[in-house]
Amino acid sequence: MDEHGRLGAFLQARRSRLQPQDVGLATYGDRRRVPGLRREELALLAGVSASYYTRLEQGVSRHASAEVLDAIAHALRLDETERHHLRDLATAGQHRGAVRPPPAERIAPAVSDLVRALHEVPVVVTGRRSDVLAWNTLGHALLAGHVDRSGPERPAERPNMARLVFLDAHTRELYADWPAKARAVVGNLRLVAGRHPQDTRLTSLIGELATRSPEFAGLWADHRVRACDCAEYELRHPLVGSLTVRQQTLTAPAAAEQSLVTVTTAPGSASEAALRLLARAVATGAAALPPRREAAGAREG
């Protein structure tokens, strides 16, 4: 599917979730053949002609103005993240160049300094495609202790967090509410794919996950987008048991496409005590789980 097909699919998915009564439109009891709003109803709400909106959704019209996109976003009741995604999809084909395999990602020095400084906090650094570029000892032990810790040092063998969430049994068991984590991963990949439609490695990753995981394929077809900036999860760790953590994603100005994911717990909580117990186990070398190299994931080639 090209960028115009992705734009149309996103618009159709969002339109199908809005009912006439949600936006104050009368239906007069007519029988509807499609879920959600019809194209002409959405066009009316956005203040554009039905024929123009149809051409836009079908990929025939490819140069929507910012004002038109804002009007459609308002009619669809998109939030700010979804609005940015809509703009990315609509402008994806305007600066097309030669498609070349992107180079292997390298962790930025400033981000590497942060990883070293935050040695008491679990930290994982991921790249554009969710490849693990670095992690500290505690981050590795908490989120992927069964994976070879040195994997991020070898670009061709880097673990990939999206692969782990969908294809690795240990990671699935780690998250008590795995569906919530899965939705967050897919929503974030949607955002990245909208910004980088010509990233062949990203496209390959998405294709692999859709082929190997029915859950991923179903969530991907939903076209929801979500920025993974902050979320709470209950983890069921094999060494220290259950703990509730907050995962926050930070971005360094010098490396906008590298995400530094930190994990914290509530002060004075049982979860904080469990994390301290894991830190002591790491310090004494008792936190290592049997490595499963086949679960590690990402291939940069």
Q: Kindly report, residue by residue over 94-137, the tens digit of the pLDDT.
A: 555 555 666 778 888 888 888 888 888 999 999 999 999 999 99
Q: What are phi and psi of 79, to 5 degrees?
A: -85, 180
Q: 57, 91, 125: which is the final residue of a domain?
A: 91
Residues 87 and 116 in one domain: no
Same domain for 55 and 188, yes or no, is: no
What pLDDT, on the 0 to 100 scale, is given for residue 19?
A: 84
Are residue 143 and residue 269 in the same domain, yes or no?
yes
For 262, phi and psi rounded to 5 degrees?
-110, 150
In a domain, 262, yes or no: yes
82: domain CATH number is 1.10.260.40
Whether residue 146 is found in the same domain as residue 65: no
The pLDDT value given to residue 1: 55
Tell me whether residue 104 is in a domain.
Answer: no
- pLDDT < 70 regions, the chain: 1-4, 26-32, 93-102, 286-301
Q: Does residue 159 sit within a domain?
A: yes
Q: Is residue 100 part of a domain?
A: no
Give the structural domain span for 48. Answer: 3-91
253 and 283 fall within a common domain = yes
Number of independent structural domains in the chain: 2
- Looking at the domain assignment, is residue 301 inside a domain? no
281, 287 contact by CB (below 8 A): yes
From 91, 118, 138, the end of a domain falls on 91
Max Cα distance, the chain (Å): 71
Judge whether 300 lies within some domain: no
Same domain assignment for residues 29 and 113 = no
pTM of the model: 0.79
Q: What is the pLDDT at residue 219?
A: 94
The pLDDT of residue 287:
64
Q: With respect to residue 96, please indicate whether it lies within any of the assigned structural domains.
A: no
pLDDT number for residue 251: 84
CA dihedral 142, 136, 229, 68 (to 10 degrees): -130
102 part of a folded domain? no
Q: What's the CATH code of the domain at 114?
A: 3.30.450.180
pLDDT at 255: 79
List pLDDT tens digits, range 217-230. Answer: 999 998 888 887 88
The pLDDT value recorded for residue 101 is 67
